[in-house]
Copies of this chain bind each other. A is one copy, B any other.
Amino acid sequence: MTAAMVTIPARRGKAARVREGQKITVVNTYGSQVVDTWAFNAADLTERMSMEHSRAYFLKLRPGLGDTLVTNQRRPILTLAEDTSGGVHDTLMAACDNPRYELLGCTEYHDNCTDNLTAALAELGLTTPTTPSPLNLFMHIPWTVEGILAWDEPVSQAGSHVTLQAEMDLVVAFSACPQDILPINGRARQPTEAHFRIG
């Protein structure tokens, strides 16, 4: 049986339940869409994938092939099993939120990854008390030796993918980032849908 492909609608979120050992493949369908990614222990959503604990675990600014992300209890939750996207992801930046868009000059509500996480979990009847810092798949935040960061375009290509292996029963949540002011979703600043499958 081929696993069904699920759509992460443009500017929206989507969550799913995943069993230990299953693989989650995230496809950058149009090539330049950042996908904010969260994972939570299915049995206790206060245990969740943590970028600050993961960096201390694999001692890198971003995970490479074979690296395992851990929770805020330092237990393995996802392993980066395949990556055809060029390997450029981000662990440094918070999910966007409405205050972020206010700082960028928006005077009305703007779709954002924080609210998308809430909505995606709500579809499963779940809530999280906080917004963990996400694994920003395909997001390109270059750094210099001096530690200067920037917002850059993804290096991923259309149809490229990342495969994450579940190291525990978990809930995964994605947001197709609605950022259309900075070039983080490509120079065209046109957020698109992306897709994932579990199997």
Q: Interface on A for B, CB 8 Å cutoff?
A: 50-53, 55-56, 59-62, 72-75, 92-94, 97, 99-100, 103, 129-131, 133, 143, 145, 147-150
Which residues of B are found within 8 Å of A100, using beta-carbon distances?
56, 74
Separation of A191 and B73 alpha carbons in the complex (Å): 24
Separation of A133 and B103 alpha carbons in the complex (Å): 23
A73 touches B56 (CB 8 A): no
Separation of A99 and B53 alpha carbons in the complex (Å): 11
- Distance to closest chain B CB from A138 (angstroms): 16
Which of B75, B92, B129 touches A52 (beta carbons < 8 Å)? B92
Which of B56, B97, B131 touches A94 (beta carbons < 8 Å)? B56
Given A52-B51, A100-B74, A129-B129, CB of A59 within 8 Å of CB of B150: yes
A50 touches B130 (CB 8 A): no
Shortest Cβ distance from A62 into B: residue: B147
Shortest Cβ distance from A97 into B: residue: B74
Shortest Cβ distance from A61 into B: residue: B147
Which of B52, B62, B99 touches A74 (beta carbons < 8 Å)? B99
Please name 18 further chain A to chain B contacts, defined as beta carbons within 8 Å, in addition to the given A52-B93, A55-B94, A143-B143, sorted by A numbering. Answer: A50-B94, A52-B94, A53-B94, A55-B92, A59-B148, A59-B149, A59-B150, A60-B147, A60-B148, A60-B149, A61-B143, A61-B149, A72-B94, A74-B99, A129-B129, A129-B130, A130-B130, A145-B145
